[in-house]
Amino acid sequence: MRQARAAVLAGLLAGLAAMPCSAQDAQMLRSPVLTLDQERLLADSRAGRALAEALEAATGALGAENRQIEAELIAEERDLTERRRTLPPEEFRALAEAFDEKVVAIRRAQDAKARALSQRRELDQQAFYRQALPLVAEIVRERGGVVVLERGAVILSAEQVDITDEAIAAIDARLAPEAAEPAGTGPEPGTDAAAE
């Protein structure tokens, strides 16, 4: 039974793929049900790419900062280990405890920055989709649509009902990358982690 359904579905998909679909056909088709690939909307539009590049730069800066802090802590730990031979036990213990507290504080601060970047990604994406929604709504009205489905959730559809390319073109034409500025929430990489 399952194989029979798969064979029918494969036949229907092949039939849809064989249907001619020019750009003019796609623009002229009026359908109440349309599809949209949200991931492509973000990944392939200039505004979406600008957000991704800004976040990638911030993530890279945080990674570089983490590596620098790690190198400094390793050097400080090595120095403390060497000084152990010449220091009274009580003084060394106090220095070792202070160093451990410093490491814990830095780790918390850097973890908070990583969480802030993750939150920033979500906020940036939400802001992007809020700005893109009116442009998508215009396309839906022009096409006579009443519902838009996520393309990845649709089992079978004609290419003509997908509005992703049109939406990307509208975003590129009317939503400048500068308009989709990163949210910039949370501490930025480069701040003094030990001070947090």
What pLDDT, on the 0 to 100 scale, is given for residue 147? 94
What pLDDT, on the 0 to 100 scale, is given for residue 28? 52
What pLDDT, on the 0 to 100 scale, is given for residue 155? 86
What pLDDT, on the 0 to 100 scale, is given for residue 194? 39
- The pTM for the full model equals 0.68
- Going by their DSSP bridges, the two strands 147-150 and 33-36 should be labelled as parallel
What pLDDT, on the 0 to 100 scale, is given for residue 11? 40
Instruction: Quote the CA–CA distance of 149 and 164 in Å, as a whole number.
Output: 11
Per-domain boundaries in the chain: 30-187
Buried b (16+ CB within 10 A) or exposed e, 165-182: ebbbebbeeebebeebeb
Average pLDDT per run of 10 along the chain, which is 196 residues long? 43 41 53 93 95 96 97 96 92 95 97 97 95 95 93 88 95 76 47 40
What pLDDT, on the 0 to 100 scale, is given for residue 179? 53
196: closest CA among 136, 95, 111, 93? 111
